[in-house]
Structure formats: structure tokens, C-alpha cells
Structure 1
Amino acid sequence: MGSSSIDTACTVDATTPTSPATMATTVVMSPCAACKILRRRCVDRCVLAPYFPPTDPHKFTTAHRVFGASNIIKLLQELPEENRADAVSSMVYEANARIRDPVYGCAGAICQLQKQANELKAQLARAQADLAAARASHAHLVALLCMEMAASASASPPPPTTPAAYSQLAAAAPVDALYVVDGAGAAGAAMASPIGWVDEPLWT
């Protein structure tokens, strides 16, 4: 009788659903990538957890392969917290460079980048020299064009400024044009009129 009542109680407790409050307080802490790879317990204030999340295990694997876990932990413990993220980024970058180039590491990448920068500077200098030559050639062509225009303007005959010259110009004009001489000026001015000899008499 007693055993059956105990079994019933255990069955009821096992089938009783967990309340939402109990589920909210139950948090499963996943170990960081470093502790998971090192197969150790990830403590509450693990020095590696903020910089090696469990979603990116390759980051710690690369740094651990070159520097070792003990050196990484020692370096982070000696630095203030505001500088630890930069230190981890530098270690991961150096580790990747060492894996690609075991001899030179980051120095090889820096030398290659400096070589590319020098080549780009040389290309820029050549482009600037070509641009300066093109500008000088353009200025020279403009000067030659201005000289030719000035020479052609000086070679053309000047306009008539004397009455005799005006009379010669009138003699060379068409016969059906009417010229009215304005004697207000010293030399006079000749103006052509569209009225012909037949349309209107010369004197009224």
C-alpha cells in the first residue's frame, strides 16, 4: 500500500510540466572555443571567453598553433582589458601570416605591400609627367594659333581713311547702288543705300 502511493507520487512529479519561470532561470553556458579545444572547464570569468567565442573555433586554433595556449593566457593577463581585443587580433593575424610564410611571417606581407606602394608611386609619377607634357603641348599649340591669327590680321589691307580712298571704293561698287556722302566728319562716311537709280532720282 505504501509502495504504490510512493510510485504514484513519483509518476505525478515526473509528468508535471516545468513552469515558464523555471525554464527562464535555467541557462546553459556553452564553453568558449579555447576551453572546448583544450578540453577543460570554462570558468565563470575565463580570460579567453570574450575573445574566442564558441562560434569561431578556427580563430583560437590558428593562434594556439603558433603561440600556444599558455602564452596567449599569459599575454592577456598582463594587458589591461581595453587592449586585449587588439592583442588577440594581432596574434591571430601573425599566426595566419606565419602559417602562410613560416620564414618571414608578417614581415613578408609588409615587404610585399611596400613593394606594391612603391610601384603605385612610380605609376603616379609617370602619369603626372605625361599630364605636364600634354599641358605644355597644348599651351604651345595655342600660342602658335594666336601668332598665326595675328599675322593674318596684319597682312589684310587697312580700311580706307581718306576721301580719295572712299572715291575709289565707290567707283568699284555696283552701278545700281546709291552712295550718300556725309560731310559731318573730316574724312566723311560712305553708306550704301538699297535704292537704285531708277527707283528714286538723285536730285529732287
Structure 2
Amino acid sequence: MDSSSSDTAATGALPHGGASTPPTSPPPPPHPAVVLSPCAACKILRRRCVDRCVLAPYFPPTEPHKFATAHRVFGASNIIKLLQDLPEEHRADAVSSMVYEASARIRDPVYGCAGAICQLQKQVNDLKAQLARAHAELAGARAQHAHLLALLCVEVATASSSSPPAYCGGGGAVGGYTSSHLAAAPAAAADALYVVDGGGGMQLQASPVSWADEALWT
């Protein structure tokens, strides 16, 4: 009797529209469980990888060879001790340096990184020597070019002064040469300095000027 009267009172307290309170939004789906695989260091060492493993950020599970190389030369305890003594901003560089040095030591057990440095220095010295030879050849070519230009000017001046001017009129002829002849004289004189060698190239021949065959430099 009391329960029916209380239900009637609760029904009468509802608004006229008969609408109840709006339903709440459904709860978000649960996040999938993240399975953390051990880092490459802990996997190689066959130990449990804890949450704050000092080796995990620098030896991911996708690069097992990285830790294997460093562990072969330095050992796991030395790597962990070195990383713990360094601030976090320098640990990545330290790991890269250890891996590089370990790789060099495995390739060359006697000299290690020193052997790689010596080899690179030798390559630098060889390249410097090649560059010096190229500069010397370029300087010699420029000096020879200037010498040939001087010979060309002497040849043209000698050819022009040897024949007296025969006519100078409106036709533009000077000393028996027209303007086209004078324009073609330097090219002809330059061609006369070269002969075709057996390989199809051009070779400088002996000049009619006595001092033309002197050495370009001493």
C-alpha cells in the first residue's frame, strides 16, 4: 500500500511533457593495452627492461646491432656507468661516439679510430697535392697564352711594316691590304703557329722569330 502511493506521487511529480532527464554520453572506449617490448640492450642481456631503463632511449628494439657493437668493445656495465654520469642532453652523442669507435675498433683491432683518422688525413694531403698541380698547370697555360699573344702581335706588326703603303684612297686599302685582309691577319698568323699532329690535335711549331723558342720561364 505504501509502495503504490509513493509510485503515484513520483509519477505526479514529473513534468507535463512526460520527458525524463537526458541520457548521459556513453563512456569512451577503453584504450588498447600497450605492449612494451624490451629494448635491444635488455633483450641481448636477457634481463627485464624496467620503465626507466637508462639504455632504452638510445638502443631501440629495432636496432639490436647498435648495442651489440658497443657491448662487444666496451661492455654493458661501462656503457651504463658512462650514461649515468652524463647529463641527458649529452647521452645521445656519447652513444653515437661509442658505437662509431667500437665499429672502428672491430674493423681495425690495432689502430681503431686512429687508423681511420690517418687514412682521411692521407686523402686530404693527396687532394691538396692534386690541387697544387692543377694550379701550376693553369698558371703555365696562362703564361703560354700570353706569350703566344705577344708573338702574334710581333708577327702582325712585322708583316705590316715590311710592305710600303701602295695606295690609300676611298676604298680603304692601306699598304696593299684592305680592311678585311687586316682583320684576317691575326687569325692567319695564329694558325701559322700550329700544325696538326698525328692524333688530330694542334701542336705549336717553331716560330720564325729567333727568340720565340726560348723557355717560357726558368
Give TM-score, length-normalised by structure 1. 0.66
Q: Which residue of 2 aligns with 1:93?
A: 100
Gapped runs of 5+ residues in structure 2? 1-27, 169-218
- Residue in 2 that maps onto 1:21: 29
User: Partner residue of 2:120?
Assistant: 113
Question: Which residue in the other structure is 1:138 paired with?
Answer: 145
Instruction: Report the alpha carbon displacement of residue 158 of structure 1 after superposing the two structures with TM.
Output: 2.7
Aligned length: 142
The structure 2 residue matched to 1:54, chosen from 61, 77, 91, is: 61
Structure 1 equivalent of residue 215 of structure 2: none
Which residue in the other structure is 1:156 paired with? 163
Aligned equivalents of 2:133 and 2:106: distance in 1?
38
What is the deviation of 1:156?
A: 2.5
Q: Which amino acid aligns with 2:104?
A: A
Answering whether residue 150 of structure 2 is matched by residue 126 of structure 1, we say no
Deviation of 1:160 after TM superposition, in Å, equals: 5.9
Q: CA deviation at 1:79?
A: 1.1
SS of aligned partner of 1:103: coil
Q: How much has 1:43 moved relative to structure 2?
A: 1.2
Deviations 1:116-147 (A, max 9, x none): 11111111111111111111111100110011
2: CA distance, partners of 1:41 / 1:25: 22
| Percent of aligned pairs sharing the same letter | 81
Matching residue of 2:77: 70
Which consecutive aligned stretches of 4+ in structure 1 deviate over 6 angstroms post-superposition?
none
- AA matched with 1:28: V
Quick check: which one's helix share is greater? 1
Q: 1:37 to 1:147 in 2, by over 3 A?
A: same
* Secondary structure in structure 1 of the residue aligned to 2:29: helix
Q: Following the alignment from structure 2 to structure 1, what is the Cα–Cα distance between the partners of residues 67 and 106?
A: 14
Q: Deviations over 1:145-172 (max 9, x none)?
A: 01111111222313568xxxxxxxxxxx
Distance 1:101 1:132 in 2: 43
Gapped runs of 5+ residues in structure 1? 1-19, 162-204
Aligned residue for 1:21, secondary structure, equals coil
How far apart are the structure 2 equivalents of 1:32 and 1:106? 28
- Aligned-partner Cα distance in 1 for 2:130–2:167: 61
CA distance in 1, matches of 2:29, 2:65: 37
**CA-based RMSD:** 1.8
Alpha-carbon distance in structure 2 between the residues aligned to 1:120 and 1:89:
29
Q: TM-score by structure 2 length?
A: 0.62
